[in-house]
Chain A
Amino acid sequence: MATMKALVCRECGKEYPTKAIHVCEMCFGPLEVKYSYEEIKKSISRKKIQDGPHSIWRYADLLPVEGPTFLGPHAGMTPLVRAKNLGAYLGLDELYIKNDTVNHPTLSFKDRVVAVAITRARELGFETIACASTGNLANSVAAHAAAAGMRAYVFIPGDLEAAKVLGNLIYKPNVVEVEGNYDDVNRLCSEIAGEHGWAFVNINIRPYYAEGSKTLAFETVEQLGWRTPDQAVIPMASGSLLTKIWKGLHEMKYVGLIDEVKTRINGAQAEGCSPISTAFKAGRDFFKPVKPKTIAKSLAIGNPADGYYALKATAESKGSMDMVTDDEVVEGIKLLAQTEGIFAETAGGVTIGVLQKLVKNGTIKKGDLTVAYITGNGLKTQEAVIDAVGRPVRIQPSLAAFEKTFKMGKNGGGDS
């Protein structure tokens, strides 16, 4: 896959070799991978992709790795679920859920980006991999490092959900709990990355790592029969996922896999941490950092690194952004679970809550082919819903007790 040509500064255009660097020395702008689309176009085809592995690596031509050895061989190709029940409830004819709650191996979309990051880190000769994380990323880095036999350091905020902490420890990386929020962790890690020669997946490996998110766009298009959705609803933390889905859709057009991109991109945040959505609603192209206060901890980035680009992508697509309260997040999680049997983490509740809002205010219309991106698994954020789901019915182990509790007669009743 020698289609990577260089890293290029998004702000001033200066080019760099494809090494472990992420910031332009001249203007501090972010570096991004530059590909030779003309070359890719000659070799890529729908058939080649469909004959490829059942994972993100079927799109290796459009990923920033040299290959042919890929770490994280099972990430991606999660189900695109036709959500008939939720669609009927919301009044949408064609609603799909891109279900990354079942991504391999750690049940979130981060398995995509980490597979790419760790593959590239290995190619660049690193033996230690690290990250700053709101939880899901750390879990994925820890698991991938264990499988790849690499040393790992994961840095997490001090207030994470128990399952996300345990989901690191079990793989035995060095887990560093930082007293502070994600933005504090991130700042610390940016400084550590400058001092130690590690592959920090979301810092010096970020130009490669972030590209893994494009596979959500690629898979959606392939699973829809090589067409783009009319509407996409995407949760935003740093804003990277949203911008990369937008980029991925367009790349498919550049390399001739599809003819047009007609998707409107919609961003979702929780009210307690909505710097990007707030800027969008105010019609600004810049955001003001905030101190996060929301149960949607995986989205709790107050100073979103890609916020500026997320605003730009949404505007280019003529899409929208919105935010929901923590109560609406919980309702969103329950609604998705109870209509489609998919248990999402809090970020999923944010997505469903905002989807509901956008349908209600007419932004998303009945006939729009809509895809909602559900990026993480509810079993990791049980604290968020534990008081909102009721309790089991407790009975003595006798038929009589059961029938009495459910008010059934001797010959059945109840459900029959």
Chain B
Amino acid sequence: MTQNRSWIPYLLILPTVVFLGLLFVVPLIQTLWLAVSDNGVPSLANMQTMVRDINFGRSILNTFLLTLAVVPIQIAMALAMGSMVSKVNGGRETILWIWTIPLGISDLAAGMVWLSILQNTGYLNTLLFSMGLIERQTAWLTYQTPVALFVGIAIAEIWRGTAIVMIIIVAGLNQVPKEFKEAAEIFGASPWTRFTRITLPLIRPALQSALILRTVLAFEVFAVVYALGGRNFPVLVGEAYNWQNQNQNYSVAAAYAVLIMVISLAATLFYLKVIKVDPERLP
């Protein structure tokens, strides 16, 4: 009976495969072709335009700097938050619920929230002024204050994106058997030793997923940066958007899209290689 129905699993996954094929693979191939062709002829002209553009170097640098600054902080914070909440008994759900609020806010809305804090007439200046620390409106988000601008964007990104990392890590922490920790405690292992020798190795799969997801998302950062930095802080996706929307040159925008995809794939492969996961622990 079951042998006769061997086609059923395929039938059941067919809709999703067709759906992704139509709405992902086809546009992907079209984008690739758009990036490496010029008037229907294979050409590297779009890539050259992209690389020679004045914002190309800056957008690569900014995107990587932001990723390098934001992702480690988010992983560390998520680990700390996850470990803390695991010790809490009453109100655990409420705490988790509050921590994940930023997850429910769209990127652009998060950017607007931070813009209302950091702009000239924003809450930060109001607070500093009322404390007597500044005499008049101070601009934080301009091309003349690159460090403040970077810190502002990084804080907004950390605020917005830590929740997703934390959820994955909390799920991983929940799977660590209590017995291991209890045994280590009996043998007199310090909390730090228990964390580095038991918890961290056991949550490797979760950590790997969190790192891949967060890093790929960091390379795709756009709306928060666009709201806060605008023209002053070019990033890769922002440049793709500008070429598509303002310059109306879809081919160079496609070249950027392909570059972002290559970087994301490279980062994913890097994590898969570096953070080895015991195959038995894979789901």
Instruction: Indicate whether A and B interact.
Output: no
- Chain B residues close to A by CB (< 8 Å): none
- Chain A residues close to B by CB (< 8 Å): none
